[in-house]
């Protein structure tokens, strides 16, 4: 059982000696790193960041476009910017900027906050592009960035933004940022995110508006500043076809605008959308192209259009985010409990005289063998249903009911063990019928919000015991009190995990490809916060654990909701002071305890 690692991991991880290892330099196992961090007292979920995987993706993008440019003898330049909305966390962004410096890899901002981050962190000589809706303040901020020396392009989404640029330019500033126009294409993307492109999309100028924009720019004397057209057909483009269609359309618009006197126009910005393969199952593979194909198609098509239309080959900009960020982060979360772990033989309380069905269950349990396992299991489930009805009608008592639950669960476990080594249809049928619930110390809302919101699957696998066949069909439960905090067993994409005794061993699940969008979309449902995180730097003879950040404390998250935290501590202290139930001696130490709770994070602190 390899959990589809060859499909989704891109050779970033591999299985060796039972464990998931990192395929880089000293190749340590994820379990080893996890245990080392936990030895520092950190519990609950941990997000590991791997800067070498950011570097890998950046290198791949620049290499593939360089090769494509050489192959087609393309004379325009290739440039990339990273869209901050995909992940704005400092331990990601700062590494990214540093790694990208050698390529002049820039940043893309979609809000005032992101623009300020870009102005602070973007490396010198690297471009900044600004998309999204902008008010006068945000446009002024763009002008300020220009005057600070940034190579910045403000992409306008509508004519009113252009009016504001013209107005602000006259009022205050002597240096003007480059201007980009977002075009509204009639071709659109496919998949869940296709809303970003297409004729009915939220963004971009129609052809009528484009003509008007050119006229406005000309009469304001700013036509030279108009340098870029931009489009973005949506995220996670699974098929290359729609992108090619969009490129043809954009290439023709580019040529037309140049003919209309847009002399400064020199770049086409394709936005993002490069897809990541999240699937763990061969028949669920979504992406139908490689990066090489993407780069070749882009360069070839733009070359072709430019040649035919006799315009200069445009400089190419891309804004891929998911492709750069997704693989760099792995969430590691401990299993806290298995639903059936309470059901052990010692807990049976069989009576002298048991109801006949329970007696039969007991016999099924003691005599089950591999030949009749499935049949016995069916019988036992029938018996259980009858016994539960008898309980409802008052014919059997709570002890009988408990014995029923225990016996049925023991029969299930035994049946699975008996069938384990046969690749039998029976085992599959049992697994399909009865799943084990794994309670995991994490919040799905916080750490995998796209699973909750748009049913995006993420690869998941145990980090150890990979030499053993996992026998339990698994559903994953998080620790929020919300019934949606579950990744239920899916027959089409089944997840199998190992049977285990959590009191005797640690068992960790890794959730992979969580570095794009998940962190900042994460919700504080039940007031669980961003998990603890660490950055792992691999070297030839080992690794270094850097920038360990513990999950936010309870007092901080309460403060984020705008509670007056002093008021809360005052109220709690007063209530303890005034309680007749606590003796005076204990009051002080209880106050201390409350203080510690408030300053710790909210994830569970069992041994796991």
Ligand X SMILES: *Cc1c(COP(=O)(O)O)cnc(C)c1O
Interface residues toward ligand X, by CB under 6 A = 83, 85-86, 131, 232, 235-236, 271-274, 319-323
- Please state, in angstroms and rounded to a whole number, the distance separating the CA atoms of residues 414 and 454: 37
Question: Is residue 486 a contact partner of residue 498, using CB atoms and an 8 Å limit?
Answer: no
Nearest residue to ligand X by CB is 272
- Please state, in angstroms and rounded to a whole number, the distance separating the CA atoms of residues 407 and 416: 14
Name which of 274 and 434 has its Cβ closer to ligand X. 274
485-504 as b/e: b if 16+ CB within 10 A: bbbebeeeeebbbbbbebee
Kindly state the smallest distance separating residue 237's Cβ from ligand X, in Å: 8
Name which of 516 and 551 has its Cβ closer to ligand X. 516
- Please state, in angstroms and rounded to a whole number, the distance separating the CA atoms of residues 471 and 552: 36
Name which of 235 and 306 has its Cβ closer to ligand X. 235
Name which of 323 and 452 has its Cβ closer to ligand X. 323
- Please state, in angstroms and rounded to a whole number, the distance separating the CA atoms of residues 346 and 327: 45
Task: Report the run of H or E that residue 591 belongs to, with start and end.
Answer: helix 584-598
Residue carrying structure tokens 């750490």: 447
Kindly state the smallest distance separating residue 114's Cβ from ligand X, in Å: 11
How many CA within 13 A on the CB side of residue 270? Answer: 32
Kindly state the smallest distance separating residue 66's Cβ from ligand X, in Å: 20
Residue 422 burial (CB < 10 Å; 0-12/13-18/19+)? Answer: exposed
Name which of 322 and 413 has its Cβ closer to ligand X. 322
Residue carrying structure tokens 């590691």: 332
Kindly state the smallest distance separating residue 111's Cβ from ligand X, in Å: 11
Name which of 326 and 387 has its Cβ closer to ligand X. 326
Tell me the two tokens of residue 371: 């030949």
SS3 category, 557: helix
Question: Is residue 373 a contact partner of residue 425, using CB atoms and an 8 Å limit?
Answer: no
Task: Tell me which residue of 10, 14, 91, 56 sits closest to 545, measured CA to CA.
Answer: 91
Beta pairing class for 436-440 and 486-487: unpaired
Name which of 3 and 323 has its Cβ closer to ligand X. 323
Name which of 274 and 311 has its Cβ closer to ligand X. 274
Kindly state the smallest distance separating residue 252's Cβ from ligand X, in Å: 21
Kindly state the smallest distance separating residue 276's Cβ from ligand X, in Å: 9
Kindly state the smallest distance separating residue 110's Cβ from ligand X, in Å: 6
- Please state, in angstroms and rounded to a whole number, the distance separating the CA atoms of residues 269 and 250: 9
Kindly state the smallest distance separating residue 183's Cβ from ligand X, in Å: 12
What does the DSSP 8-state code read for residue 29?
B
Kindly state the smallest distance separating residue 87's Cβ from ligand X, in Å: 10
Kindly state the smallest distance separating residue 243's Cβ from ligand X, in Å: 11
- Please state, in angstroms and rounded to a whole number, the distance separating the CA atoms of residues 274 and 539: 30
Name which of 113 and 586 has its Cβ closer to ligand X. 113
SS3 category, 338: strand
Kindly state the smallest distance separating residue 251's Cβ from ligand X, in Å: 18
Name which of 86 and 96 has its Cβ closer to ligand X. 86
Task: Tell me which residue of 539, 510, 519 sits closest to 9, measured CA to CA.
Answer: 510
Name which of 197 and 462 has its Cβ closer to ligand X. 197
SS3 category, 452: helix
Kindly state the smallest distance separating residue 115's Cβ from ligand X, in Å: 14
Question: Is residue 42 a contact partner of residue 35, using CB atoms and an 8 Å limit?
Answer: no
Question: Is residue 99 a contact partner of residue 55, using CB atoms and an 8 Å limit?
Answer: yes
Residue 354 burial (CB < 10 Å; 0-12/13-18/19+)? Answer: middle
Name which of 315 and 550 has its Cβ closer to ligand X. 315
- Output phi, psi for 400, to 5 deg: -60, -40
Kindly state the smallest distance separating residue 274's Cβ from ligand X, in Å: 6
Name which of 89 and 391 has its Cβ closer to ligand X. 89
Task: Tell me which residue of 156, 231, 224, 145 sits closest to 165, measured CA to CA.
Answer: 156
Secondary structure of 75-95 as H, E, C letters: CCCEEEEEEHHHCCCHHHHHH
């Amino acid at each position: 059982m390899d959990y589809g690692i060859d499909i989704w991991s891109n050779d970033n991880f591999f299985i060796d000696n039972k464990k998931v290892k990192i395929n880089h330099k000293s190749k340590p196992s994820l379990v080893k790193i996890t245990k080392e961090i936990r030895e520092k007292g950190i519990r609950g979920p941990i997000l590991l960041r791997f800067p070498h995987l950011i570097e890998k993706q950046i290198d791949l993008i620049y290499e593939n476009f360089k090769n494509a440019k050489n192959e087609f003898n393309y004379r325009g330049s290739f440039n990339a910017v990273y869209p901050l909305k995909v992940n704005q966390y400092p331990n990601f962004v700062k590494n990214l900027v540093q790694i990208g410096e050698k390529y002049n890899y820039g940043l893309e901002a979609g809000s005032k906050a992101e623009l300020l981050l870009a102005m602070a962190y973007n490396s010198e000589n690297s471009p900044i592009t600004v998309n999204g809706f902008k008010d006068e303040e945000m446009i002024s901020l763009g002008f300020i960035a220009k005057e600070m020396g940034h190579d910045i392009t403000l992409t306008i989404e509508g004519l009113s933004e252009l009016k504001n640029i013209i107005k602000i330019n006259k009022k205050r500033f002597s240096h003007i940022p480059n201007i980009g126009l977002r075009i509204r294409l009639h071709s659109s993307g496919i998949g869940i995110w296709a809303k970003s492109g297409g004729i009915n999309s939220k963004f971009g100028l129609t052809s009528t508006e484009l003509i008007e924009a050119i006229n406005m720019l000309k009469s304001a004397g700013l036509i030279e500043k108009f340098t870029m057209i931009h489009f973005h057909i949506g995220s996670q483009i699974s098929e290359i076809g729609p992108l090619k269609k969009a490129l043809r359309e954009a290439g023709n618009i580019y040529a037309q605008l140049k003919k209309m006197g847009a002399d400064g126009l020199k770049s086409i910005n394709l936005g993002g959308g490069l897809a990541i393969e999240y699937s763990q199952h061969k028949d669920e593979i979504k992406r139908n192209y490689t990066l090489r194909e993407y780069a070749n198609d882009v360069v070839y098509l733009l070359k072709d259009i430019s040649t035919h239309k006799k315009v200069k080959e445009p400089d190419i900009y891309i804004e891929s985010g998911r492709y750069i960020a997704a693989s760099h982060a792995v969430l590691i979360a401990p299993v806290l409990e298995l639903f059936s772990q309470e059901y052990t033989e010692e807990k049976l309380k069989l009576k002298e005289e048991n109801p006949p069905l329970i007696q039969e269950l007991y016999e099924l349990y003691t005599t089950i063998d591999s030949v009749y396992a499935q049949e016995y299991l069916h019988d036992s489930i029938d018996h259980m249903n009858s016994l539960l009805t008898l309980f409802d009608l008052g014919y059997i008592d709570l002890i009988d009911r408990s014995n029923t639950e225990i016996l049925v669960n023991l029969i299930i476990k035994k049946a699975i063990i008996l069938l384990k080594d046969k690749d039998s249809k029976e085992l599959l049928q049992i697994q399909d019928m009865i799943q084990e619930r794994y309670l995991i110390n994490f919040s799905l809302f916080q750490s995998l919000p796209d699973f909750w919101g748009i049913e995006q699957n993420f690869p998941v696998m145990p980090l150890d015991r990979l030499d053993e066949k996992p026998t339990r069909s698994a559903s994953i439960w998080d620790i929020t009190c919300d019934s949606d905090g579950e990744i239920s067993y899916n027959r089409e994409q089944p997840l199998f995990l190992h049977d285990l005794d959590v009191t005797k061993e640690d068992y960790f699940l890794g959730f992979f490809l969580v570095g794009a969008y998940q962190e900042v979309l994460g919700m504080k449902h039940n007031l669980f916060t961003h998990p603890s995180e660490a950055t792992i730097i691999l070297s030839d003879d080992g690794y270094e654990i850097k920038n360990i950040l513990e999950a936010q404390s309870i007092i901080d998250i309460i403060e984020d909701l705008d509670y007056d935290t002093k008021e809360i501590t005052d109220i709690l202290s007063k209530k303890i002071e005034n309680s007749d139930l606590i003796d005076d001696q204990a009051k002080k130490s209880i106050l201390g305890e409350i203080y510690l709770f408030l300053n710790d994070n909210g994830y569970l602190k069992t041994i796991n």
